[in-house]
Amino acid sequence: MASIPLSSASVEALKKEVRRVYDERKSSHLSESLAAALGFNTHAALLTELKRQDNDPLYCLLDEEKFDARMQALGYSADPYFDFEDVKTSCMISTTCNYAYEIKYRSLRDRAWRNVIICAVNEGLRLKLFSLRPGDNRWVGHARRSETYLFDFTLPCGLPARASVSDAGFDELSIHVAVNPKNDWVSASNAGFLAGDVFATTWLEREKGAWIQTSLSGFRCRKNLLDLIAKMTVSPCGYGDRGRVIM
């Protein structure tokens, strides 16, 4: 899977490359299918959102299954082998770690870790503290490698959370998150329950692509919150939700 900035220029560049593959298919049908791949019900809905975006748009995941399903609904044969990374554009980034297939979020604990981490990364992107581009750090003090930046937000389930972000080198970001946070303990890598009722850490890869490195070691979650947090429905904003930890 891959992602692109949600801008008119990037969508147009992608459509141009996709038309090289499907040169026999109608332009309007490709537009509708690309809108579906980006999570929109119609091309008109995509255009409306593109008008809302500023000069610094967030990245959005491209879903091959949704693209192919819309193509089939428009009367074309299924093409399960189509991959957006095969029609790569200059602004496209990969969101799939080579080892992603090895990682499964089966248990409540696994899914709870994933959900709080995704919420923290999404919020950091929304606040424009950083982007998915290599080296694009923007928080106050980011030029000082040892500087940790804290930001607060609310989970979809209504619980308060606090996250920290710092430069881990090699175009990676170190991100910690605490739910029902206690003071500023979230910035410590081994804080555990000192940081809050839930504590999780990850590294956000941005050099080879964009994905979170799956690291459940040190993850802590109070039993009474595990089910609530694991059942939240959250999607990553333009990056992959699993990857091997790089040591």
**Predicted confidence (pLDDT) per residue in 55-97, tens digit:** 899 999 999 999 999 999 999 999 999 999 999 999 999 999 9
Same-domain pairing of 132 and 76: no
Q: 244 exposed, middle or buried (CB, 10 Å; 0-12, 13-18, 19+)?
A: middle
Residue range(s) defining the domain that contains residue 10: 2-94
**Residue carrying the six token digits 């980011």:** 142
Same-domain pairing of 223 and 158: yes
Same-domain pairing of 64 and 150: no
CB-based contact 36:66 (threshold 8 Å): yes
CA–CA dist 96, 214 (Å, integer): 12
Same-domain pairing of 171 and 191: yes
- Please name which of 190, 168, 175 lies closest in space to residue 124, comparing C-alpha atoms: 175
Q: Please tell me the pTM assigned to this model.
A: 0.94
**Is position 215 within any domain?**
yes
Alpha helices by DSSP H, listed for the chain, are 8-21, 27-37, 43-52, 64-73, 108-126, 223-230
Same-domain pairing of 80 and 143: no
- Summarised one tens digit per residue, pLDDT across range 2-35 is 999 999 999 999 999 999 999 999 999 999 999 9
- Please name which of 207, 208, 2 lies closest in space to residue 88, comparing C-alpha atoms: 2
- Summarised one tens digit per residue, pLDDT across range 99-143 is 999 999 999 999 999 999 999 999 999 999 999 999 999 999 888
**Is position 236 within any domain?**
no
**Is position 245 within any domain?**
no
Same-domain pairing of 137 and 162: yes
Same-domain pairing of 76 and 109: no
Same-domain pairing of 150 and 224: yes
**Domain total of the chain:** 2
**Is position 247 within any domain?**
no
Residues 6+ apart with CB under 8 A from 211: 95, 96, 97, 100, 204, 205, 239, 240, 241, 242, 243
